[in-house]
Structure 1
């Protein structure tokens, strides 16, 4: 897991002695997860606490099963070596799950950011009722949790990425046009209780980019990802911009040609109608079945003129839509993730031309391609659970989690 700056405030914890101790527990756990194994003295130097204070905090985290003693540290420096502490091979893991239009995926990630187990299944989920889709997803979650339990790991929670609008601080998918879902409460279908969170796949992809996507990670960027639909998320000063209702980032339904074709959202001329997966396939004269992103990349790399022309058109449409976001938000970077990362060599030239033509700031944002590719939302979901443990380990320890059934 790449180190990232810790927040200045204690994650909403009260400024009391108990609140400060919980914050300090988090500082210690973050430091060891990011840079460990470390001695107590090394941790103290990194987070600005005394060695005695760190020793007390380490004892508490060890008792909770979040840290382990690893023996004497061989530092190579003069003086008595300290005892190294680190994240053990056992302990909590975050379970990330993703509902895609054409797949279901689940992964377990430990506190070091290592993927410990994963499972996936191809599935045509367009128009399927939510109940059988979520039942199948729960089966994959059981498969992954059984695997990590066999290694002595404990699931700390489940986060689900979905390709649609999720009402803020709820489990409700308000609208997922490409699935055909409206007002679906995932909490009523998935048996994980208070340890379940649900979020938009683009939001989780952006958080993955922030946490594990680069070194150093950008702090202000627009993250764009696509498969059947196109999603976007905005990160400002290292924090996800959600909007008043949690719906910020719906770039795929920004109209780029107001009199264009009808969209599943009810509008016309939306970006998805020009740069979504099916739109590009239609423009290239190809079938929309199978695994089309791989087909588009293969054909484009082989020099297929129709595919390259279709991708140039998609890149131009993306540039038109992103120009408005760039003019409004002034981000440092625009990051292409998801399926767009595979197609970036043929999308970027026309995208950049449109941004150059349409943005007012001469210091235009950097255009970068995510290293996470299509795994971004799934990894972001799993890491969101991990971050919840790192940010408030006392709450995890006090919760005595029983794991995910």
Structure 2
């Protein structure tokens, strides 16, 4: 079942629904879908009670959603209830699916998520994506997308859209990667390179990680700062259940906040950026660990075994993270800080020094720091769920196709 306790903007571009009878119908279809998604199985009467419409009105909406394949009837509700039993409604396990994709520095991943929030297909390809241009990387990604879409179709699903997470700055057009230093991409329009038959949105991986935490995290508040990392470090800022994007869509570039202005040069052009102290390469270098396929797992294993070089490198990375986060916390005043991405696997050794810095430098009480249960899967899941959320937010688009 898709967890939908928060009302947040869909990552896919959407249309504002007009304040007309047709617009009201579309909004009510969305209310029914969100209610059944979050709380189902439910009867028509239960849905009507929750959203404040008459049973007749809800029945008409439900019939439309059932015909379009978005809801399914499971049969009479369990016995023991007073009165005539209603038919239990659930979000369909067939029909639209969200296709999420992630471009990492050294991996590609694609998954299909159905309207119930279940991952139905997944494919991963490991290997460097530092090709100097987007074309060969996206060609490999497209092959994975086609594979996952075919597997989803074999289970009665169809792709409602494609959302791609990338480690870089993405323009507000939702398709152009303005700059991705760790991939060596600049002004790369992914639209013409990806399958033309799928509605597309591209966004920063940290933004998708934050949205995944908002939608899927356990007891996640509506105001938080989400930090994620692989080779680079990014952050997603969520306030009142909505992602803060900034004027150009570049908000959250935590990895390029300087923690030591006279420090080493960074690929972004600055000096002493956080990534130079807490990014994966920097930690491996400081720990004296040779890069391998499971670098985070290797660091975690050595830290657990008591390797003091690794533990010292992680303490120093936590200190640098704390310094950078202090500025963000003082400026934005989030309720909590959530550590996600690959960093989540190193939390036992990062958090003590990170929390010390926050406590020492933050104006007012230090903010709690929690660890995401989603870990490195956050950006990919956030991308796929953004497509699912777009369907739930405006199911009339699908209903009109049926």
Give the unaligned 5+ runs of structure 1.
401-405
Matching residue of 1:240: 243
Matching residue of 1:174: 178
Matching residue of 1:2: 3
**Structure 2 residue 278 is matched with structure 1 residue 275:** yes
Matching residue of 2:120: 116
Matching residue of 1:302: 305
Where in structure 2 are the equivalents of 1:306-321 lying within 5 Å?
306-321=309-324
The 10-residue stretch of structure 1 (313-322 or 32-41) with the greater mean CA deviation from structure 2: 32-41
Distance 2:314 2:390 in 1: 39
Q: 1:322-364: per-residue Cα shift (whole Å, max 9, x none)?
A: 00000001100100000010000000000000001111022x2
Coordinate RMSD, CA, aligned: 1.5
1:89 to partner: Cα distance: 2.4
- Preserved CA contact (<8 Å) 2:102 2:109: yes
TM-score for the superposition, normalised by structure 2: 0.96
1:278 to partner: Cα distance: 0.3
- Preserved CA contact (<8 Å) 1:106 1:378: yes
Matching residue of 1:403: none
Matching residue of 1:155: 159
Distance 1:329 1:165 in 2: 21
Matching residue of 1:189: 193
- Preserved CA contact (<8 Å) 1:40 1:85: yes
The 10-residue stretch of structure 1 (194-203 or 256-265) with the greater mean CA deviation from structure 2: 194-203
Distance 2:150 2:307 in 1: 45
- Preserved CA contact (<8 Å) 1:11 1:391: no
Matching residue of 2:392: 390
1:49 to partner: Cα distance: 1.2
- The DSSP-based 3-state class of the residue aligned with 2:340 is strand
Matching residue of 2:35: 31
Distance 1:135 1:62 in 2: 37
- The DSSP-based 3-state class of the residue aligned with 1:13 is coil
**Structure 2 residue 24 is matched with structure 1 residue 20:** yes
**Structure 2 residue 273 is matched with structure 1 residue 286:** no
Matching residue of 2:258: 255
Distance 1:76 1:12 in 2: 43
TM-score for the superposition, normalised by structure 1: 0.95
Matching residue of 2:149: 145
- Preserved CA contact (<8 Å) 1:157 1:192: no
- The DSSP-based 3-state class of the residue aligned with 1:38 is coil
- Preserved CA contact (<8 Å) 1:219 1:237: yes
- Preserved CA contact (<8 Å) 2:70 2:92: yes
Matching residue of 2:69: 65
- The DSSP-based 3-state class of the residue aligned with 1:49 is coil
**Structure 2 residue 92 is matched with structure 1 residue 91:** no
Counterpart among 10, 30, 45 of residue 41 in structure 1? 45
Distance 1:103 1:233 in 2: 21
Distance 1:7 1:197 in 2: 16
Distance 1:319 1:383 in 2: 30
1:289 to partner: Cα distance: 4.0
- Preserved CA contact (<8 Å) 2:72 2:90: yes
Distance 1:361 1:280 in 2: 30
- Preserved CA contact (<8 Å) 2:177 2:185: yes
- The DSSP-based 3-state class of the residue aligned with 1:2 is coil
1:193 to partner: Cα distance: 5.1
Distance 2:8 2:328 in 1: 26
**Structure 2 residue 214 is matched with structure 1 residue 210:** yes
Distance 1:190 1:309 in 2: 43
1:399 to partner: Cα distance: 5.1
Distance 1:213 1:49 in 2: 30
Q: Alpha carbons of 1:212 and 1:75: their partners in 2 closer, same or farther (altered >3 Å)?
A: farther
1:5 to partner: Cα distance: 3.5
- The DSSP-based 3-state class of the residue aligned with 1:339 is helix
Q: 1:100-158: per-residue Cα shift (whole Å, max 9, x none)?
A: 00100000001110111101010111244311111111111111111110111111010
Distance 1:278 1:288 in 2: 8
Give the unaligned 5+ runs of structure 2.
none
1:79 to partner: Cα distance: 1.1
Counterpart among 344, 347, 356 of residue 344 in structure 1? 347
- Preserved CA contact (<8 Å) 1:34 1:112: no
The 10-residue stretch of structure 1 (188-197 or 245-254) with the greater mean CA deviation from structure 2: 188-197
Matching residue of 1:365: 367
1:88 to partner: Cα distance: 2.2
Matching residue of 1:376: 378
1:83 to partner: Cα distance: 1.0
